[in-house]
């Protein structure tokens, strides 16, 4: 089966923060591939990879990177697919650097950025996009949201004063 989502990260050290995206894609039974590719250290590989994505059937890209986080922007510049950026809180500036490097893209080449280290939200956003075409994904998304509601509404505070 062809992957629908590409999960790309700038270095292996980003994996612990990007894992949650993969777990959620697994949970939704969405095919994906995961790659380590660097906008700066392997620019040619990255560009070839980005240019080949659409032909191979990939529909959404999730890209996580820290510091001067150019990875999602470099992919966005080399394909026509929606690119979702995950700023990683690597280094002393706690991800403020990667957030700004990702979200402040020039007009014409967007990166849809989610919260710092929040690869879960990147996966859900990818799933919302895929659900526009795929009824089964849409149904799973609906169920997921219902279960989340139930889970939160069952949380309770032991011993609170409820009059």
Q: Which of residues 103-162 bind a copy of itself (CB under 8 A)?
A: 103-118, 120-122, 124-125, 128-129, 131-133, 138, 141-142, 144-145, 148-149, 152-153, 155-157, 160-162
Residue 52 CB, shortest distance to a copy of itself, in Å, is 13
Query: Residue 86 in contact with residue 75, Cβ under 8 Å?
Result: no
Instruction: Answer yes or no whether residue 48 interacts with a copy of itself by CB under 8 A.
Output: no
Total residues at interface with a copy of itself (CB under 8 A): 96
Instruction: Answer yes or no whether residue 22 interacts with a copy of itself by CB under 8 A.
Output: yes
For 106, residues 6+ apart whose C-beta sits below 8 A from its C-beta are none
Instruction: Answer yes or no whether residue 21 interacts with a copy of itself by CB under 8 A.
Output: no
Q: How many residues does the chain have?
A: 163
**Kindly report the CA angle at 139 between 136 and 142, in degrees rounded to 5?**
155
Q: Which of residues 62-81 bind a copy of itself (CB under 8 A)?
A: 67-68, 70, 73-74, 76-78, 80-81
CB burial class (10 A; 0-12, 13-18, 19+) of residue 47?
middle
Residue 146 CB, shortest distance to a copy of itself, in Å, is 11
DSSP β-bridge partners for residue 134: none
């Amino acid at each position: 089966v062809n992957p629908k989502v590409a999960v790309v990260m700038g270095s292996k050290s980003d994996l612990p923060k990007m894992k949650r995206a993969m777990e959620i894609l697994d949970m939704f039974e969405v095919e994906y591939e995961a790659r380590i590719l660097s906008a700066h250290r392997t620019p040619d590989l990255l560009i070839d990879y980005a240019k080949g994505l659409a032909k191979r059937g990939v529909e959404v890209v999730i890209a996580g990177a820290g510091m001067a986080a150019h990875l999602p922007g470099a992919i966005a510049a080399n394909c026509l697919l929606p690119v979702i950026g995950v700023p990683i809180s690597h280094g002393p500036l706690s991800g403020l650097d990667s957030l700004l490097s990702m979200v402040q893209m020039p007009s014409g080449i967007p990166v849809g950025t989610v919260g710092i280290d929040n690869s879960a939200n990147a996966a859900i956003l990818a799933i919302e996009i895929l659900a526009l075409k795929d009824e089964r994904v849409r149904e799973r998304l609906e169920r997921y949201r219902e279960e989340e509601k139930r889970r939160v509404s069952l949380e309770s505070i032991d011993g609170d004063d409820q009059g």
